[in-house]
Amino acid sequence: MSSETKQTRENIYRLDGLSKVFKFTFLQTIKSKSYRVSFIIFVLVMIMQKPINYFTSRAGHASTDAKATVSAESIDTIYFSNESGLPMDVNEIKKDLSAKTEDEAGKQVADKITSIKQTADETVKSLGAKDCLVVISRGEEGFAVKGVVAEETEVDVSEVDALAGFFEEEFTTAKQEQSGITEEDIKMLQNGISVEKLASYTEYNGSSDEDVTKTQFMGYALTFAIIIFLVSSMGASYVIGSVTEEKTSKLVESLLVTVRPMALLLGKILGMLAYVLMTLLTGIIGAKIIDIVMFDVMKLEPIQGTETMFDFGVLTKFGYGMTALFIVTLLFGFLAFGILAGMLGSACSKTEDIQSATGTVMMISMAGYLGSVFIGGLSAAWAPTVLALVPPFTFFSLPVLFACGKIGVGVLVGGFAVQAVLVVLFAWLMAKTYRNLLLADNSKPKLGALLKALKA
Amino acid sequence: MSLVVKDLFKQYGEKTVVDHISFSMEKPGVYALLGTNGAGKSTSIRMILGMLEKSGGEVTWNGGPLNFDTCNIGYLAEERGLYPKYTLLDQIRYFGELRGVTGKVLEDRIAYWAERLKVEEYLFPEKATEAEEQKKEAEGESKPARPVRKKKVKPKSADQLSKGNQQKIQFMIAMLSDPELLVLDEPFSGLDPVNTDILKEVVREQIAAGKYIIMSSHQMEVVEEFCTDITILHRSKAMVTGNLNDIKKNYGRVNLLLKVEQDVTDIIKKEGIEILSEKEYEYRLKVTGDEQGNRLLAALVEAKIPVVRFDLSELSLHEIFVREVGEEANEQ
């Protein structure tokens, strides 16, 4: 090819017209009924996540507490036989019962408890119609708590069950006390993991001594990965559908005499990104308002453990600086997957090809999501660095790794550099493939077709 | 202003789809790109407009590269399309804005072309409904006793339009920027005679306004009506290029229509002239040129045969096209 020809080659990377494509895409998305419905559903899910988590956890706690709420209206005497070998003070048990129930009924139940000296077998024979026996025994398979009543009993069986539950708790506490385990130790054991210091977050924030357990880290990582997966999937399916529609309806020829491929596709992706950000921000603001209403206005007690549940509030949990980092990663992730979707969309020749193109993007996105969760769960020292620097995992985990102190500032910057380079590289590839494939009638959304288009 | 297409070349792998095509437009007018299906017309147009990368050659507008930054281009693609679900007005405005036409100018042009192309009722259905109601009132239809709540008229989307009307909308989009270079790929295909006339009238106006128009069509009579210069493509090569009148002159006046009142077959054969058809002493003949035609006329006069009609004419564009493409096809 002559140098003269090279001089007249069209610059396909120019971005004139991008703002108009962006505006049109955004406005048409908002006007679309299906996208309006998606917006409402997505925002509702985000807003309702916290109350749902809270009230389901509270219901669980309430049912646990109910075990301690005992009554003995149908019972005259509660015989208690301790055959476990572990000493238990009946007076302490009575005190606990009074303290937990905190009403007159509780004291009345406590007054009915009588410790027996003879064996349980002997007591069973002499039980009256309004008596019951609670036995704690030790067998080959461990300890057992049993509630026993007479053959011709008039006792309400549910009251006996509640009593047995109460004695079980008392026995567990006694057992732990005698083993020398404190309540703090028990909480630690329940969390399962040792505590780690948030060194990097402290450096960044300058004032925090907050600790993040592994369980909490996994909760945040999972939540962020799901958010990225959701938004990138939403964006990718829109971009593929839109590009294929323009290609199959032959609109693209009219478009390409007024706007260049790069501006056309980036305008679309950014228009969709604006819709996604609008949805996310509305959801985050809504979730924050709900948070304020629940805990500041209604003064509800926070429940321990709910912070590790799936919650969109993770984006704002670590302060404004970290929220910005979350959003930057979200932007890079959205752009990378959106551009990839655009390239594959330009290779679609029929509407039937959309499924295949969407499947490819979803597969890569799913690999990123699952990989980041799986590798994030490993204790290996290399795991956080790999997640932070290797695509596609970096899009799903970089800010969470930094927020939880798993990586330092250097790796964070490196991760962002990798993301930025990948987006620029994708955009360059996109402009070439997009232009060559848009007018091709027989291309397929496969990697081979993209490579062929790059060479053309 | 001038458009120069020089050595335009496109290859896909080993296959050449446009083989070193050159032509130029030194002054306003209509340039026709003709050819059989798959000859390379649309590919050439796509390369000229810069939407498809060239394997070789160059296209210049006023000495510089041609693209939508250097030239105000209006383009009606052969394979037409609109966003099926978006409202017509939204997408017309979008294309207008992409072409740099905004605000009141855009709205005025939309209104002008909607009226000109008779698509107002689709773009402004509310206005159309109002006009219909006013017409009914004027015709004396009684008003309802109580005011009736007006139904909201939904704006139309492209999938609610016939193909012909969709084509008019796309033509309108091509005209919105008041282009200096208008590229029309098969502009009249699929249109009914009424709409064909509407578009033809607009094309005539554009020619009169001094626009540069590149037209591709299979309808030779339409092209012949408008174009001054042509290129006939066949199997990626330019078979004929140049001014249509010059091309016709080169072929000479070889079509002779003769009408007499008796059988003159013997005289025609004696002169060695080919008879294409004959019906009630009206002969369509193929002569070698003016000389052979004049010899036949002299022979008829000498034989005292009254001549009702003697029409010696050049080849039509259709005949030139078939002759060039057909001969090449036979050779291959």
For B210-240, the pLDDT digits (tens) are 999 999 988 888 888 999 999 999 999 999 9
Q: Rounded distance, CA A348 to CA B56, Å? A: 27
Least confident of A59-68, A380-389, B130-139: A59-68
Count Cβ–Cβ pairs < 8 Å, chain A vs chain B: 84
CA distance B85 to chain A (A): 9
* Residue B284 belongs to domain spanning: 253-314
Q: What is the CATH number of the domain that holds B65?
A: 3.40.50.300
A440 neighbourhood in chain B, CB within 8 Å: none
Contact A253 B54 (CB under 8 A): no
Examine the pLDDT at A307 and tell me if it is beyond 80.
no
Q: Do B233 and B185 fall within a single domain? A: yes
Angle at B157 between CA B152 and CA B160, to 5 degrees: 95
Residue A182's pLDDT is 66
A249 at B interface, C-beta within 8 A: yes
B69 neighbourhood in chain A, CB within 8 Å: 16
Q: Rounded distance, CA A247 to CA A254, Å? A: 11
Last residue of a domain, one of B204, B225, B248: B248
| Most A CBs within 10 Å, among B45, B98, B102, to test the A interface | B98
Q: Rounded distance, CA A162 to CA A156, Å? A: 10
CA distance A27 to chain B (A): 10
B98 neighbourhood in chain A, CB within 8 Å: 17, 20-21, 255, 258-259
DSSP B87: B
pLDDT digits (tens, 9 = 90+) for A104-120: 767 788 888 888 877 77
Please report whether residue B146 resides in a domain: no
Contact A333, A418 (CB under 8 A): no
Q: Rounded distance, CA B284 to CA A397, Å? A: 83
Residue B61's pLDDT is 94
Examine the pLDDT at A391 and tell me if it is beyond 70.
yes
Please report whether residue B14 resides in a domain: yes
Reported confidence tier of residue A185, pLDDT bands at 50, 70, 90: low
Closest to A308 measured CA to CA, from A199, A417, A223: A223
Q: Do B191 and B176 fall within a single domain? A: yes
| Long-range contacts of residues A26-29, Cβ cutoff 8 Å, at least 24 apart | A26/A271, A26/A272, A26/A274, A26/A275, A27/B90, A28/B86, A28/B90, A29/A238, A29/A271, A29/A272, A29/A275
Q: Rounded distance, CA A343 to CA A359, Å? A: 14
CA distance A278 to chain B (A): 22
Helical pair B163-175 and B193-208, crossing angle rounded to 10 deg = 10
Beta bridge partners of A139: A142
Contact A163, A70 (CB under 8 A): yes
Q: Do B75 and B170 fall within a single domain? A: yes
Please report whether residue B15 resides in a domain: yes
Last residue of a domain, one of B226, B248, B270: B248
**Between residues A454 and B186, which one has the greater pLDDT?**
B186
Please report whether residue B322 resides in a domain: no
Closest to B10 measured CA to CA, from B21, B26, B25, B23: B21
Contact B113, B76 (CB under 8 A): no
Contact A279, A45 (CB under 8 A): no
Q: Rounded distance, CA A251 to CA A444, Å? A: 19
Please report whether residue B26 resides in a domain: yes
Q: Do B26 and B173 fall within a single domain? A: yes
Q: For residue A242, what is the nearest residue in chain B, using CA coordinates?
A: B83
Q: What is the CATH number of the domain that holds B266?
A: 3.30.70.1150
Q: Do B66 and B12 fall within a single domain? A: yes
pLDDT digits (tens, 9 = 90+) for A343-373: 888 888 888 889 899 999 999 999 999 999 8
B95 neighbourhood in chain A, CB within 8 Å: 254, 258
Domains in chain A, please, with CATH?
3-57+215-455 (no CATH), 67-209 (3.40.1710)
Last residue of a domain, one of B248, B281, B304: B248
Count of domains forming chain B: 2
Contact A269, A374 (CB under 8 A): no
How long is chain A?
Answer: 456
Give me the amino acid identity at B237.
K
Least confident of A232-246, B3-17, B243-257: A232-246
Please report whether residue B181 resides in a domain: yes
**Between residues A104 and A125, which one has the greater pLDDT?**
A125
Q: Rounded distance, CA B227 to CA A268, Å? A: 40
Please report whether residue B296 resides in a domain: yes
Q: Do B204 and B294 fall within a single domain? A: no
Q: Do B7 and B58 fall within a single domain? A: yes
Give the 3-state secondary structure percentages of chain B, helix then strand then coil, rounded to 5: 40, 30, 35
Q: Do B198 and B174 fall within a single domain? A: yes
Q: Do B79 and B168 fall within a single domain? A: yes
pLDDT digits (tens, 9 = 90+) for B1-38: 789 999 999 998 889 999 999 999 999 999 999 988 88
Examine the pLDDT at A285 and tell me if it is beyond 60.
yes
Mean pLDDT for chain B overall = 89
Q: Do B176 and B49 fall within a single domain? A: yes
**CA B89 to each of CA A245, B81, B98, B117, B212: distance values in angstroms, whole numbers, following the listed order:** 19, 15, 14, 15, 28
B83 neighbourhood in chain A, CB within 8 Å: 245-246, 249, 251
Q: Do B295 and B222 fall within a single domain? A: no
Q: Do B55 and B184 fall within a single domain? A: yes
Closest to B158 measured CA to CA, from B78, B91, B76: B91
Contact A424, A317 (CB under 8 A): no
Please report whether residue B202 resides in a domain: yes
In this prediction, the answer to ipTM > 0.85 reads no
Examine the pLDDT at A215 and tell me if it is beyond 90.
no
The strand pair at A77-83 and B3-12 is best described as unpaired
